[in-house]
């Protein structure tokens, strides 16, 4: 009986840890929108008939489930190709601002 209880407790701990990790990796709606913009910018680098690496396609498809990791990977790939990533909504300038300090 103690063995069964130990197995149940271990399974419960692992299950809760996995659920917590899965929730942490999903970003906010603005992060998902930014990740989608990064994906669009990156996929535009490849002509319609040219395939991109499978790992890149997987990274782009994980924007909804593993947003933070996908954003980091896509930003790195764009910067590696010397392309400035699109601006992120959460760090964008306010409307009417010039960006110049006074």
pLDDT, tens only, 54-83: 999 999 999 999 999 999 999 999 999 999
Q: How high is the pLDDT of residue 25?
A: 60
- Neighbour count for residue 47 (Cβ, 10 Å): 7
Q: How high is the pLDDT of residue 26?
A: 77
SS3 letters for 41-69?
A: HHHCCCCCCCCCCHHHHHHHHCCCCCHHH
Burial level of 48, CB count in 10 A (0-12/13-18/19+)? exposed
Q: How high is the pLDDT of residue 14?
A: 61
Q: What is the DSSP string of the chain?
A: -HHHHHHHHHHHHHHHHHHHHHHHHS--HHHHHHHHHHHHHHHTTS-TTSPPPHHHHHHHHTTTTSHHHHHHHHHHHHHHTT-PPPPPGGGPPPTT--S---
Is 17 or 62 the better-scoring residue by pLDDT? 62
Q: How high is the pLDDT of residue 88?
A: 85
State the DSSP code for 82.
T
pLDDT digits (tens, 9 = 90+) for 18-40: 555 555 567 899 999 999 999 99
Structure pTM?
Answer: 0.62
Is 43 or 50 the better-scoring residue by pLDDT? 43
pLDDT at 95 over 60: no
């Amino acid at each position: 009986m103690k063995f069964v209880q130990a197995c149940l407790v271990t399974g419960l701990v692992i299950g809760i840890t996995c659920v917590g990790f899965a929730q942490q990796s999903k970003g906010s709606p603005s992060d998902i929108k930014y990740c989608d913009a990064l994906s669009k910018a990156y996929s535009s680098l490849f002509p319609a008939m040219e395939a991109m690496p499978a790992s890149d396609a997987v990274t782009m498809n994980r924007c909804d489930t593993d947003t933070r990791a996908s954003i980091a990977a896509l930003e790195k790939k764009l910067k590696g190709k010397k392309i400035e990533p699109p601006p992120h909504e959460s760090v964008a300038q306010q409307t009417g601002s010039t960006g110049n300090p006074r």
